Structure 1
Amino acid sequence: MNIKNIRSIDSGSTSGCGCSPPGNKGQTKPSCCAPAPRQTAVKTPCCRPATQPSPQTSSNCAASDQKADAKPPCCGPAATVTGGEIDENVPGFLGWLTTATGRVPQIRSELSFIDHLGACKARWALNRMNFIVPPGLYAIGSPSGDDPVVVTSNYKMTYDIVRQALAGHNIWLLVLETFGINVWCAAGKGTFGTDELVRRINDSGLAKVVNHRRLLLPILGAPGVAAHEVARETGFTITYATIRADDLPQFLDNGMITTREMRQLTFSFYERLILVPVELVTSLRTALLTTLALFIIGLIAGGTAAGIKFGAAYLGAMLTGVAVGPMLLPWLPGKSFAVKGAAAGILWSLAWYMIAGGSSWNIAETVAVFLGLPAISAFYTLNFTGCSTYTSRTGVKKEMRLSLPAMGGALVLSLLLLLIGRFQ
C-alpha cells in the first residue's frame, strides 16, 4: 500500500509500499514487502550481513559498530535521509511537556495548510523522500503516566494521519526511525522492527514516563516486530490495535478491544485512485523519452502524422496501464495483474482503432496494434502489484516470470507486423 495509502496507523504510503493492493478483506500480509521477523543477521541484495545493532546503530543494514550517521537500509531512500533531532520545528509543535526524563514536544492534532500541501506533493512524488519527521517521543493532548502509548513510523503522512485521528485524546506517540517509509513497508523491510522499537523505548526513557508497560502498534507493523523479544528486553508488552488510524478513537473508547472491522483491510476505488499520481509521475520519467523516440521513428517512416500517431498510441497505452487498469481492477477479467492490464489495453486498442481511422489499416497493422498496445498496458499494470493489498512476493515473482516474456514477444511480433504492413 507503498501504502503503500490506506488511512491506517500505517497509512500514508504513496505507493502502498511498493508492496501491496486491492482488497481481500482481513488479509494483512504484505506483498512485495516480505514479512521480516527479527533476525540476528540480515542479508539483502544491497546490504551486507549485519549482526544485531547496538542502540547507536541507525539500521539493520550495517554491522553493530556502524556509526549513527550511516546510510539508511536499502529499502529506504536512495539518499541518506534521516528524521533528525526533535526541536521546536517539528510539525504541529505547541510547546514542551516536562516528564521524568526531560522535555517532550506537545503536538496539535489539527493539520495546517502546509501539512495538507506537503501530503499532496508527496502523492505526486514531489519531495517524497524528504517527507519525514524526527523519531522519538511526542505528546498529543496532555498525557499522564497512565495514558496509552501509540507507536508509528516517521513518514510524515503517517505521522499526520495518526495525530489527526487522535484529536481529543491524551496519547504518548512513539515515532520510530523508518527513514521516511510507512509502517507496512518498513515492517516488511525491517526498519519498523524489534531492534528499532527497543532502541526508541530505551532512548526516550519511556519506562520512566509512563506507569504501565503496554504499547499499541499498528496491525500492519506486526511482520517486523517480535513482541516476545520486546517484552523480554524492555518489559513492555505489545497490543496490535487497528489497521486504520481512523479506528483508533473507537478502539481506545471501547476498552482497547479490536473488532473484526478494525482488522479488515480494504482497497476501494478511492484507495486505488490516490495511488495513481505517484505511479504516473514515476512512469512518465521514462515514458516521455519512449514517446519521443517513437515520434522520431514515425516521423522518419511516414512523416509528422505518423510520428504523432506512434507517440500518442504508446502514451495512451501507458496511461491505460498506469491509471485505468488500477482503477478498474476488480472488474477486469483474470487474477493476474498482467492479464487485467492487457484487458484494459484491449479497450484502449479499440478506442485507438476508432480515433486513428483503423478502418484504413491493413490486416498486419491491425493485428500489430492489438498485440502491442495491450502488452504495453499489461506491463504498467503489472507494476501496480507493488501497491496492492493482496499480492504476495512469490506470486509477483511467478507472474513476472510468466508475463514478461509474453509481453516482450508480443511487442517484437507487433513491430514485425508493422514493418510487414508498410510493404502491403
Structure 2
Amino acid sequence: MPRVMSYMTPRDWAGSAFARLGVIRDNYKVVPGLYCVGFPDEDSPVIVSANYKLTFDALRRELSGIDAWILVVDTRGINVWCAAGKNLFSSEEVARVVRAARLSEVVSHRRLILPQLAATGVGARKVKKLCGFDVVFGPVRASDLQRYFENGSEATPDMREVTFTLAERAVLIPVELVLLWKTMLTALCVAFVLSGVGPDVFSFSAAAERVGDVALALVAGVVSGAVVVPLLLPWLPGTAFSVKGLWPGVFAAAGLLTVMGMDEPMAGAALAALSVSVSSYMAMNFTGSTPFTSPSGVEREMRSAMPWQLGGLLVWAVLWVALRFAA
C-alpha cells in the first residue's frame, strides 16, 4: 500500500509553484487508488480526494498525526469543485475506485468522508447503492480536518462555510497572467498589422510607432481585470464579474491616457475601448474560482457580456485604422 508523508519535499514545493504558475497545471496529478498516511488500520477513516496533485498535497499536509486512508478518485487532474461540476468527481467514479481498491477488504467500516465541495457531483444514496459505502461530507477545507476529527467527525458551521478571502483570491492571479502569453503575443501581432494599415496600404514605420500604445492599453486592461478585480472583488460595484471588470478598466484607461498625454480624441477613445473590453473579459475568468457563481449563471453572463466585449474590440479596431486614413 503506497504510504505518503504529511510533509512537502522541495520537489513537491517546486511542482506546486510551477502548477500555480500554469506551467505544468494540465498534467499535475497522482495515480488514482488507495493510499495511506501514518499507520491506519481497519477502523481508520477513509478520506476521498481528487487526483489533482495540488488537492492531494493540500489534503496530506493536514493529516499530520492522523492515521488514515486516502482514496483518490480519477478526476483527470482537476480539482474537487470543478471536477464535481463537470461530473468527473461523480457517484459512479467514487464507487468504481472503491471496488477497484477492494476497500471492503481493507476496512471493517463502510464510511467514506468526502470533501463538501464534491456534493454537486456525488449522491450519497447512489454511492451506497453502487458499492455499499455510506458517504459523509466533511469540511470545505482540508485545514479543518484536525478539528473535524477532534469534534467526533462532526463539521461545525464555520467548517461548512465557503470563503474567498484576499489571500485565496490573490493566489489565483499568477496562473492567469502566465497563461496569457500566447494570447498576448497573438493580440500584439494583430495590433501591429492594424497599426500599419492606411492609405499607403501598409506602413512598417507607422505600425512600429503605434503598436506600443496598443501594447500599453492591453497591459492596462490585463492588469485591471486579472489583478485589480480579484484583489478588490468584494468592493467593486455590480454583481456580474464582467461589470466588476469595467470599473478598474475605466480608471486604468483614464490613467494611461493621462500619462501618455493623449490629445487625439479618436485615439483615446480607441485605446479606452480596448482597455475596458479586455479588463471586463479578464474579470470573467474568475467566475469559476469563486463561491459567488453557478455554472448556469456563468453561461448566462458570458452570453450577455461577450457581445459587448467584442463590440468594444471592434470599436478599437475601426477607430485605430480610421486614424491612419484621417491623418
Task: Provide the TM-score with structure 1 as the length reference.
Answer: 0.71
Contact between 2:244 and 2:283, CA under 8 Å: does it hold in 1? yes
2:200 matched residue in structure 1: none
Report the Cα offset of residue 420 of structure 1. 5.0
Report the Cα offset of residue 390 of structure 1. 1.4
Report the Cα offset of residue 421 of structure 1. 4.8
Instruction: State whether structure 2 residue 220 is matched by structure 1 residue 316.
Output: yes
Instruction: State whether structure 2 residue 295 is matched by structure 1 residue 393.
Output: yes
The structure 2 residue matched to 1:346, chosen from 250, 253, 256, is: 250
* Cα deviation code 1:282-338 (max 9, x no counterpart): 222111221233235435373643221122222322232222222222222111111
The structure 2 residue matched to 1:168, chosen from 61, 65, 69, is: 65
SS of the aligned residue for 2:187 comes to helix
The structure 2 residue matched to 1:326, chosen from 230, 234, 237, is: 230
Cα distance in 1 for residues equivalent to 2:40 and 2:313: 61
Report the Cα offset of residue 234 of structure 1. 2.5
* Cα deviation code 1:332-352 (max 9, x no counterpart): 211111111111111110121
Instruction: State whether structure 2 residue 23 is matched by structure 1 residue 126.
Output: yes
Give the residue type in structure 2 aligned to 1:353. L
2:211 matched residue in structure 1: 307
1:241 matched residue in structure 2: 138
Instruction: State whether structure 2 residue 239 is matched by structure 1 residue 335.
Output: yes
Cα distance in 1 for residues equivalent to 2:59 and 2:238: 36
Going from structure 1 to structure 2, the CA distance change for 1:325 and 1:229 (only over 3 Å counts) comes to same
Instruction: State whether structure 2 residue 318 is matched by structure 1 residue 416.
Output: yes
Cα distance in 1 for residues equivalent to 2:186 and 2:62: 42
Give the residue type in structure 2 aligned to 1:233. L
1:406 matched residue in structure 2: 308
Contact between 1:217 and 1:240, CA under 8 Å: does it hold in 2? yes
Report the Cα offset of residue 192 of structure 1. 1.3
SS of the aligned residue for 2:245 comes to helix
The structure 1 residue matched to 2:273, chosen from 371, 393, 398, is: 371
Contact between 2:194 and 2:317, CA under 8 Å: does it hold in 1? no
Between Structure 1 and Structure 2, how many residues are aligned? Answer: 319
Q: Identify the range of structure 1 (363-372 vs 131-140) with the bigger mean alpha-carbon deviation.
A: 363-372
Report the Cα offset of residue 366 of structure 1. 2.8
Cα distance in 1 for residues equivalent to 2:246 and 2:295: 21
The structure 1 residue matched to 2:171, chosen from 274, 287, 294, is: 274
Cα distance in 2 for residues equivalent to 1:297 and 1:367: 16
Instruction: State whether structure 2 residue 43 is matched by structure 1 residue 139.
Output: no
Contact between 1:287 and 1:318, CA under 8 Å: does it hold in 2? no
Report the Cα offset of residue 214 of structure 1. 1.1
Cα distance in 1 for residues equivalent to 2:71 and 2:261: 60
Cα distance in 2 for residues equivalent to 1:220 and 1:265: 9
Cα distance in 1 for residues equivalent to 2:310 and 2:93: 43
Cα distance in 1 for residues equivalent to 2:273 and 2:168: 31
Report the Cα offset of residue 116 of structure 1. 0.7
Going from structure 1 to structure 2, the CA distance change for 1:131 and 1:413 (only over 3 Å counts) comes to closer
1:194 matched residue in structure 2: 91
Give the residue type in structure 2 aligned to 1:221. A
Contact between 2:192 and 2:207, CA under 8 Å: does it hold in 1? no
SS of the aligned residue for 2:304 comes to helix
Give the residue type in structure 2 aligned to 1:412. L
Contact between 2:194 and 2:321, CA under 8 Å: does it hold in 1? no
Going from structure 1 to structure 2, the CA distance change for 1:420 and 1:206 (only over 3 Å counts) comes to closer
* Cα deviation code 1:332-388 (max 9, x no counterpart): 211111111111111110121122112xx2333333333332112111212221222
Q: Identify the range of structure 1 (242-251 vs 305-314) with the bigger mean alpha-carbon deviation.
A: 305-314
Contact between 2:62 and 2:142, CA under 8 Å: does it hold in 1? yes
Q: Identify the range of structure 1 (278-287 vs 243-252) with the bigger mean alpha-carbon deviation.
A: 278-287
Cα distance in 1 for residues equivalent to 2:264 and 2:227: 30
Going from structure 1 to structure 2, the CA distance change for 1:144 and 1:381 (only over 3 Å counts) comes to same
Report the Cα offset of residue 155 of structure 1. 0.9
Task: Provide the TM-score with structure 2 as the length reference.
Answer: 0.91
The structure showing larger relative contact order (alpha-carbon pairs under 8 Å, at least 6 residues apart) is 1
RMSD, aligned CA: 1.8
1:154 matched residue in structure 2: 51
Cα distance in 2 for residues equivalent to 1:180 and 1:248: 22
Report the Cα offset of residue 404 of structure 1. 1.5
Cα distance in 2 for residues equivalent to 1:285 and 1:308: 18
2:199 matched residue in structure 1: none
Cα distance in 2 for residues equivalent to 1:139 and 1:303: 61
Give the residue type in structure 2 aligned to 1:338. S
Report the Cα offset of residue 254 of structure 1. 0.7
Cα distance in 2 for residues equivalent to 1:411 and 1:126: 29
SS of the aligned residue for 1:395 comes to helix
1:83 matched residue in structure 2: none
Cα distance in 2 for residues equivalent to 1:317 and 1:174: 43
Structure with a larger share of its residues in helix:
2
Cα distance in 2 for residues equivalent to 1:298 and 1:419: 7
Give the residue type in structure 1 aligned to 2:152. G
